[in-house]
Amino acid sequence: MTQKRAAAIVGIHEYPSRDVEGEISPLQVKAESAARALEDAGFSWSDVDAVYDAGEGGGMGGLTIAEYFGLRPNVIDTTSVGGSSYEFHAAHAKRDIAAGKCSVALLTYGSTAHSNARAIGVGGRGGASMHPAENMDAFAGMTLIANYAMVAHRHMHNYGTRSEQLAEISIATRLHAMRNPQAVKAMEDLEFLDIRETTIEDVVSSRMIADPLHLLECCMISDGGGAVVIAAPEIARDCKKSPVWILGSGEATKYPTSGGDITSSAATQSGPQAFGEAGVTPAEMDIAMIYDSFSITVLTLLEDLGFCRKGEGGSWVQGGRLRYDRPLDGPALNTDGGGLSSNHPGMRGIFLLIEAARQLRGESCSQVTDAKLAVAHGNGGMLGSRHSAGTIILGRD
């Protein structure tokens, strides 16, 4: 079918440092990334007429970011749904451009989670009061990583999934990270030990963090940020770089229900929306940029997006099929190194769009030959309870 090209990614930038040592604020990370992404597209600040912001820079996101950048946008979208916020933003930018509300959209992210020593995965979630939405888990002291470990245990119980199979995800992303100088520098700055490609034995022998998840199955905590510029088609075709078209999108959320299946995510709703709109199937994807907070996150999302049947993910990922140099076996996974081995400042969705765009431009450090289609799927919140899903299908001319 003829795919509709209503908007395209035309500018990208990833902030290079994963350890800013408190010398720069999240807003400064966002501003620097925005300036470089606009430069990448061949635009100036005055070209921007839409701003998409998740509020991670502090203050009232929509007001703060427009003022800080000195912009007077026609569209201000402050959707904040965790790590998938930037997939939601890309979908909204496409709709707003198609509706004629704007022509050039700017998405930015900045975080100093590492410098601030934020205990993202293992910190307590208690407080003076309990939000009604947390009454099924927070009162018992469940941490974020415990939530994901619970999903992994249930997946193992239901389908016979083994730790050695989950480890395939970690070794594929580390392989890609070792080809990415920024990822290697990140591991050095964050004081990773024995920085090299890893094996299944390395992963399953690493320290247990929350049974059954081992250290090498858990994302790093870093600083970082980035920016994405999305433009209308009549503008995109004249930019400095080849446009990366947004072909389809899907949005969904899921929350705890009595008798619900915690091994099934909101991707079962957002994925069909996105693939259906784009007129393509998971089997056609060259690149899969999948939110990798933990190994089980990726396995679950690959199943729910339709790359394999529910419960078959463990066997499906075996044998190195997720590597960049195995294009006939399946999509290359997180070719920048992912949250496991490149960066994870707290909400990683924007980096999925950035690396997917790099691949379709032919600019990745782990470049898939003649990559034409990519999926970027963000997961926000906690996989085993309330979370959001944002799916974006991208393609090149």
Q: What angle do CA 33, 381, 283 make, to 5 degrees?
A: 80
Q: Is the pLDDT of residue 137 over 70?
A: no
pLDDT (0 to 100) of residue 116: 86
Residue 394, SS3 per DSSP: strand
Domain coordinates of the chain in residue numbers?
8-116+221-396
11-53 pLDDT, tens digit each:
999 999 999 987 899 999 999 999 999 999 999 999 999 999 9
Give the predicted TM-score (pTM) of the model: 0.96
Q: Is the pLDDT of residue 257 over 90?
A: no
If you search the block for the tokens 């898939």, which residue do you land on? 368
Overall average pLDDT of the 202-217 stretch: 98
End-to-end CA distance of the chain: 14
Overall average pLDDT of the 207-214 stretch: 97
Tokens (6 digits) for 131: 């939000």
Overall average pLDDT of the 276-280 stretch: 97
pLDDT (0 to 100) of residue 129: 53
pLDDT (0 to 100) of residue 381: 93
Q: Which helix (H) or strand (E) holds 295?
A: helix 295-304
Give residues with Cβ within 8 angstroms of 302, minimum separation 6.
288, 290, 308, 313, 316, 317
pLDDT (0 to 100) of residue 342: 98
Give φ, ψ of 150 to 5 degrees.
Answer: -65, -40
| Average pLDDT value for the chain | 93
CATH number of the domain at 8-116+221-396, please? 3.40.47.10
